[in-house]
Amino acid sequence: MSFLEVKRVSRDFGEGNKALDDFQISIEEGQILSIIGESGSGKSTLLRVIAGLEKKDEGEVWLDGEKVLGPDEKLVPGYAEIQLVHQQLNLYPNSTVEENIARPLLLFDKGYAGERLETLLSLFQLGSLKGRLPRQLSGGQQQKVAIARALSSEPKVLLMDEPFSNLDSIQKREILEELREIFSTLNVTVVWVTHDLFDAMAISDDLCVIKKGKPIQKGKIADLYAEPNSLYVASLFGPINEIPDAHHLYLRSISVKLFPKPANNLLPGKVISSRFMPRFNLLHIGVTGLEKEWQAEDEHRMYKPGDEVFLSYEQGDVLKLNA
């Protein structure tokens, strides 16, 4: 059995609204797993079920050989060894950074508590801020305090539910890079959910894609990119074009080759729009005879709206995908 096992869990909120549908996943000790799915796909419900805070209609959750009980099976719901952090940080507003982080350590041995606090302050680079109150910190710093506090009593698992949605992208990038380091130093098991693939990639190599309460693909992010098992998974990584007159054959925008002049075997089209991206202009192209536009990367920034353009691709770049 793996360290953390979610076994055939279903959660039905009524009227056939299955937030989790026969959900199965296993996570190894020390693994950092990102779970990605669109809004309403069941991400928060999954984390709450793992934490023992949400009732399961069917199935079981096991952590380190012990069954995790739901709120209907246990007098005080939840477990100290399973910490859940979300956007609402619930920091103690009148306690300093240091006091907030040390709060879960109150009943621990003084020597241990002091050492643990120092370790976390230094890992999270919060030492110079330890005397401040939460309102005297930036959003990113507050988020770090909340995560440090969740880790203070050495939980077996840290669960994070889109904790960085409030941060601006610069703060977010910084904290994600720091966390990647911190998690590997502490060797903690982390399951975190996001709807942003780039956030997921910043923090972990393992990804599980969920849709309508079911995991649809799990593996190394690089493998999911190379061999997506569905149009849904492929689309997470960028625009996907449908190849005309073919069954379930698709092409990434990056695989489209652009030519200014007609030639054999080129698909004719017209540039509809061009959007600046850091390394290319992203074109929307009306392909002759096709209802749905294609998207292509114009790395030399050659084409403008209204231009004629001719398209080709390599057979090796074609993806066969089911919807």
Footprint on this chain of ligand ADP (rule: CB under 6 A): 13, 17, 19, 37, 39-45
Write down the least CB distance from residue 220 to Mg ion, Å: 24
By CB under 5 A, residue 44 contacts Mg ion? yes
Distance, C-alpha 255 to centroid of its chain: 25
Cβ count within 10 A of residue 38:
13
Range 134-138 contact pairs with CB under 8 angstroms and sequence separation of 24 or more: 134/89, 134/91, 134/92, 134/93, 134/95, 134/97, 134/100, 135/93, 137/97, 138/171
243, 318 Cβ separation under 8 angstroms: yes
- The nearer residue to ligand ADP, 45 or 152, going by C-beta atoms, is 45
- The nearer residue to ligand ADP, 17 or 288, going by C-beta atoms, is 17
- The nearer residue to Mg ion, 43 or 144, going by C-beta atoms, is 43
Write down the least CB distance from residue 185 to ligand ADP, Å: 29
What strands lie across the sheet with 32-36, from one edge to the other? 82-86, 157-161, 189-194, 32-36, 206-211, 214-220
By CB under 5 A, residue 166 contacts Mg ion? no
List C-alpha distances in Å: 9 to 23, 45, 70: 5, 11, 12
Write down the least CB distance from residue 161 to Mg ion, Å: 6
Question: 24 is in the binding site of which of Mg ion, ligand ADP, none (Cβ under 5 to 8 A by kind)?
Answer: none
- The nearer residue to ligand ADP, 40 or 262, going by C-beta atoms, is 40
Question: 114 is in the binding site of which of ligand ADP, Mg ion, none (Cβ under 5 to 8 A by kind)?
Answer: none
Strand pairing category for 157-161 and 82-86:
parallel
Chain length of the chain? 323
By CB under 5 A, residue 87 contacts Mg ion? no
Write down the least CB distance from residue 297 to Mg ion, Å: 32
- The nearer residue to ligand ADP, 54 or 297, going by C-beta atoms, is 54
- The nearer residue to ligand ADP, 18 or 116, going by C-beta atoms, is 18
The angle, 0 to 180 degrees and rounded to 10, between the axes of the packed helices 110-123 and 169-186 is 140
Question: 155 is in the binding site of which of ligand ADP, Mg ion, none (Cβ under 5 to 8 A by kind)?
Answer: none
CA gap 274, 294 in Å, rounded = 12
Stretch binding Mg ion (CB under 5 A), from 14-22, 40-48, 239-247, 306-314: 40-48
Write down the least CB distance from residue 258 to ligand ADP, Å: 37
Write down the least CB distance from residue 213 to ligand ADP, Å: 7
- The nearer residue to ligand ADP, 41 or 274, going by C-beta atoms, is 41
Residues of the chain by 3-state class (helix, strand, coil), percent to 5: 30, 30, 40
Question: 87 is in the binding site of which of Mg ion, ligand ADP, none (Cβ under 5 to 8 A by kind)?
Answer: none
159, 85 Cβ separation under 8 angstroms: yes
Question: 144 is in the binding site of which of Mg ion, ligand ADP, none (Cβ under 5 to 8 A by kind)?
Answer: none
Q: What is the DSSP string of 87-134?
A: SS----TTS-HHHHHHGGGTTS-HHHHHHHHHHHHHHTT-GGGTTS-G
Question: 41 is in the binding site of which of Mg ion, ligand ADP, none (Cβ under 5 to 8 A by kind)?
Answer: ligand ADP
- The nearer residue to ligand ADP, 16 or 316, going by C-beta atoms, is 16
Binding site for Mg ion (CB under 5 A): 43-44
